[in-house]
Structure 1
C-alpha cells in the first residue's frame, strides 16, 4: 500500500478517545511490544489495538477494506492508522505474529473494569459462568484448523459471565478439539459452570466436585441413573423430578460422587439437568440452565454486529489476536454504554458512535480548513499592506 500524505496536525475524536479511555488512560501493558530488528515498528501496539477496534466497529469484512479506509476515510486516516501509514505486507505480518500477549493483558484488564461498572444480576444464584464452543469457518490454507475432509474450522471456547453479561475467558483450538477440558481452565473454585449436553461426562462431574467447582449441565434423557434419595416435588410446578443420584452404569462409568438431577418440562419438552448445587431450589436450577441461553445471544450479537468471524488472519496466533480484538471492542462498548448512558450495549448505540466519529472528523477538518483560509487571507493582506507602503 502506498503511503499517504497526512495533515500537519492529526485529527482528534473526543468520542473515540472517550471509548478507548479504559485502555489508553487507565492501563499500561506489562509487556512492551518491541521491534525484532533494527528497523522501528511500522505499527505500534496502540496502532494495532485501534486498528482492530475500528475494524470491528465499522463492520468491515476484510483486512483489505480496513487498509483502504486508512487511505480514503478521513477519520481512519487521521485517528486510527499509524502516523506514517503502513504497507499491506507489514499490516498482515503484524496481525499474524505480534501483540497477542499485550492484547491478553488488555482483555483481562477490561474484564475487571467492566465488572466494576456493570450491576450484578442473579446474585442469589451465585457466580454463573456459561461455557460454550463456537466453530469458525476457516480456509483450506489454514492447515492447523483440522475439522473434517475437505473443510477447515477453528473453535473458540468462551467463558461468559452471566451475572454481568460479558465474556471472561477465551481459548482457541482446531475444530475437532473437545470442549470439556476447558471447563477447568475457565471457572474458578466456588463458581458454577452452566453447560449444554456436549459437556456431559461422569468422570468430569466427579473431578469438578472434588475441585469444589460447581456445575449445572443438561444431560441426555436416556442416561442411566441410580436414585440415592428423593426430594419432594411440587405437583403444580414445571419440575417433575428432583433426586440425588449416581449417573452411569456401575463398575463401568458410574459417578463416584453423588449429584443432584432435576427434570422439568417446558412446552411439552423434558429437560434433565445434572448439578452439584444442593443449595438451590429445583425451580432455581431450571432458571440457571435457562440463563445459559445468554451466551448464545452474545455469540449472535457479537458475530452479526462486530463481524468477528470475517477473517483478517490465517495463523492460529493471528486468529486469536483478531478474536481478542473483537472481545476488547465488545467490552469497551459495554463500559462506554454503562458509563455514558447507564444502559447495556446495543446496536443503536454502536451506530450512534459511528456517526459521532464521522462527525468529529468532519468538524475537525472544517476547523483546520477554516484556519488555513484565515491564515492565507492574513498573508495576502500583509503582502498588500507592504506593497502599498512601498508605493
Structure 2
C-alpha cells in the first residue's frame, strides 16, 4: 500500500532542524563510526541519528513505516535518508549493532550543556533526583521480525533531575537486572534520591548515608519500626508524623 503524505506535516520540518542543531555541536570530538568488515557503511552515524529523530517526531508505527516514508516523501528522502537510499536488511543491521559509542558521546555532551542552561525551578528543595527502573522495547518493530513483548526485554535505570526536568544518568541492563545497586551509581554525594518501595533495603540505606547520599523512599506498610525519638510537628504543615526510627530488626 503506497504511503500518502500529508503536506500539512511539512510544517513539522523546522522542528527537526531545531532539534538537530545542538546535536551538531555535541558531535565535536565524537569517535568516528567505522565499518566492522570490508564492506563500506550503508548508513553513516549522522544518517542513523537523523532517521531516529525523524521516527520519533513523526510517530511512525514501525521501522517498515519509516523506511517507506524515507523512500516516498521528498523531505525525508532528501534530508533524512542516505544519498543512495537504504534497504531493510542494511537498516536493521545499522540500527541494532552500531552507533552506541557515538550516541553515548552525544548524550553526555547534550546533558552537560542542558544542565548549565536550564533554570532550577525549585532550587530550595536541593538537588533532587528521581530514580526508577523500567522495562522497555529495545528495538523498532519489523513485519518480518516481530518483537515479542513477553521475552528478552531490556531495562533502563534512570536518574531524572526533578529540579531541571531532564535525565541525569541512564544505565541499561537486561530485563532481569536488579534496580537497587544503581542508586549509588546514579546519585552523587550531596544529592537526594526519590525512590519507590522497590528500593527499600535497610543495609543500603546505611551505605548511602555513609556515602553522603540522601534519599526519600516509600517503605512497605508491614515494615517494623522502632521509635528512637519523636519530633515536634507544626500543626499547619503537611507533615503528620516525624520521628527518628530504627527500621527492621537489629
TM-score, reference length from structure 1: 0.56
Matched, 1:40 2:40: yes
Deviation of 1:137 (Å) = 5.4
- Counterpart for residue 82 of structure 1: 82
- Say if 2:118 is the partner of 1:118: yes
Offset of 1:152 from its aligned partner? Answer: 4.7
Describe the SS at the equivalent of 2:177.
coil
The answer as to 2:219 corresponding to 1:208 is: no
Distance 1:188 1:210 in 2: 12
Alpha-carbon distance between aligned partners in 2 of 1:230 and 1:90, rounded to the nearest angstrom: 65
> 1:222 offset after TM fit, Å?
2.4
1:239 deviates by 1.9
Change (3 A) 1:100 1:152: closer
Aligned-pair distance for 1:153? 3.3
**Unaligned segments of structure 1, at least 5 residues:** 1-12, 251-391
Q: 1:234: how far off?
A: 2.0
Structure showing greater Rg = 1
Contact 1:154 1:172 in 2 (8 A): yes
- Within-5 A mapping of 1:300-319: none
User: Any idea what the Cα deviations from partners look like across 1:241-260, whole Å, max 9, x if unmatched?
Assistant: 1111221111xxxxxxxxxx
Q: Residues 152 and 101 of structure 1: is their aligned pair in 2 closer, same or farther, counting only changes over 3 Å?
A: closer
- Once the two structures are superposed, residues 239-296 of structure 1 have per-residue CA deviations (whole angstroms, 9 ceiling, x without a partner) of 221111221111xxxxxxxxxxxxxxxxxxxxxxxxxxxxxxxxxxxxxxxxxxxxxx
Contact 1:137/1:152 (<8 A) preserved: no
Unaligned runs of 5+ in 2: 1-12
Partner of 1:171: 171
Q: Are positions 1:191 and 2:191 aligned together?
A: yes
Alignment check: 8 A CA contact 1:142 1:152 kept: no
Q: What do residues 4-42 of structure 1 show as CA deviations (whole Å, max 9, x unaligned)?
A: xxxxxxxxx665333211111453243111112333211
Provide the secondary structure at the position in 1 that maps to 2:243. strand
Structure-1 residue corresponding to 2:9: none
Partners in 2 of 1:199 and 1:86 — Cα distance?
Answer: 44
On the 8 A contact 2:16/2:54 being kept in 1, the answer is no
Question: Could you tell me which residue of structure 1 aligns to residue 19 of structure 2?
Answer: 19
Deviation, structure 1 residue 134: 1.7
Q: Secondary structure at the match of 1:23?
A: helix
Deviations along 1:71-102, one digit per CA (max 9) or x if unpaired, are: 01111101111111111111110111100011
Matches of residues 228-377 of structure 1 in structure 2 within 5 Å?
A: 228-250=228-250
Within 2, Cα distance between the matches of 1:151 and 1:89?
A: 23
> 1:152 and 1:39, CA in 2 relative to 1: closer, same or farther beyond 3 A?
closer
| Secondary structure at 1:235 match in 2 | coil
SS at match of 1:91: helix
CA distance in 1, matches of 2:152, 2:180: 21
In structure 2, how many angstroms separate the alpha carbons of the residues matched to 1:238 and 1:14?
46
CA RMSD of aligned residues (A): 2.3
Number of positions where the alignment pairs a residue of Structure 1 with one of Structure 2: 233
The CA distance in 2 between the partners of 1:62 and 1:245, in whole Å, is: 52
CA contact under 8 A between 1:230 and 1:243: conserved in structure 2?
A: yes
Residues 151 and 92 of structure 1: CA distance in aligned 2, closer, same or farther (over 3 Å): closer
- 1:16 aligns to what SS in structure 2? helix
Flag the 1:158–1:175 CA change in 2: closer, same or farther, 3 A.
same
- The equivalences for 1:144-155 within 5 A come to 151-155=151-155
